[in-house]
Homo-oligomer: A and B are copies of this chain.
């Protein structure tokens, strides 16, 4: 899909991001503390199990990971697959929509990683 800064002006012509609109809700979900890390963990990856997601999004609690995955699944960004084996084998992966989003989050996170040392480390020096 093509996204240009022109279309942002089309969507928000007066520059206002209105409270309570669907865009604000979706933005909150994907930029939530754990939402963005879960999406990035699943980008360019095979489907991941719960334990691997917890390892990658370091610091996430069981409760917050469950809640984040439920929200992202409701938003059609992540899909949960339960393989009918013993013991149960559950995997999480991006949907097509989630993969499209991850393609926009990945350069953002790369920029963050490149700039963080200059910005954050300099502040605390």
Contact = CB atoms under 8 A, between A and B. Distances in A.
A25 B116 contact: yes
A26 B121 CA distance: 10
Q: How many copies does the complex hold?
A: 2
Nearest to A60: B19
Interface of A: 1, 3-5, 7-9, 11-12, 15-19, 21-23, 25-28, 30-33, 36-37, 40-41, 43-45, 55-59, 74-77, 97, 100-101, 103-121, 123
Given A119-B76, A123-B74, A5 B44 contact: yes
**9 closest Cβ contacts across the A-B interface?**
A22-B120, A22-B116, A31-B31, A11-B113, A19-B59, A3-B110, A3-B107, A23-B116, A26-B116
